[in-house]
Amino acid sequence: MTTPADPDRAQALGQEWQALFRAHEGYEFGALALKLCALILCGVAWGASWLWVLLPLLWLQEGVLKTFQSRLSDRLLRVEALLREPAPTGTAFQLHSEWLQQRPGGAALIVEYLKSALRPTVALPYPILLSALAVF
């Protein structure tokens, strides 16, 4: 496989950064949409027994989205570091190849999703909604 000349490599890395950034922001909007959906569902169907199932599912789904977003963040930081080099040496468009090399196994992947779901920026407002649902 031939390697591109440095200007081509820098341009490809720049294109990758732009694509990753757009996707990263898309995941953020998706996570916010899940939170908004949870709030609207609670407002519309307060007291419905199915909220006990749906709210934790939305919470876990947001954890999965944020885990995906974290992978994009890792690659974004890697691309930024490569772009700071006077003559970038890295290869562009390696998101999945790099991730596959570090991909955890089945149970570890589930633990990664759960850890992401427990981060405060992900968890809020779900515990509050579930607690309020239990009280009222």
Report the number of distinct structural domains present in the chain.
1
Tell me, yes or no, whether 73 lies in a domain.
yes
Angle formed by the axes of helices 6-44 and 51-84, nearest 10°: 160
Does the structure show a pLDDT above 70 at 22? Answer: yes
In the predicted model, is pLDDT for residue 19 greater than 60?
yes
| Rounded Cα gap, residues 112 and 89, in angstroms | 30
**Domain containing 76: what range?**
6-135
| 54: in domain | yes
What proportion of the chain, given as a percentage, has pLDDT over 90?
Answer: 83
User: 1 lies in a domain?
Assistant: no
CB burial readout 55-75, b (16+ within 10 A) else e:
beebbbbbbbbbbbbbbbeeb
Does residue 87 form part of some domain?
yes
From the centroid of its chain, how far is CA 109? 14
| Nearest to 92, CA basis, from 23, 21, 22, 16 | 16
In a domain, 48, yes or no: yes
5 token code pair: 């000349």
At 26-84, the pLDDT tens digits run 999 999 999 999 999 999 999 999 999 999 999 999 999 999 999 999 999 999 999 99
Separation CA 102–CA 88 (nearest Å): 23
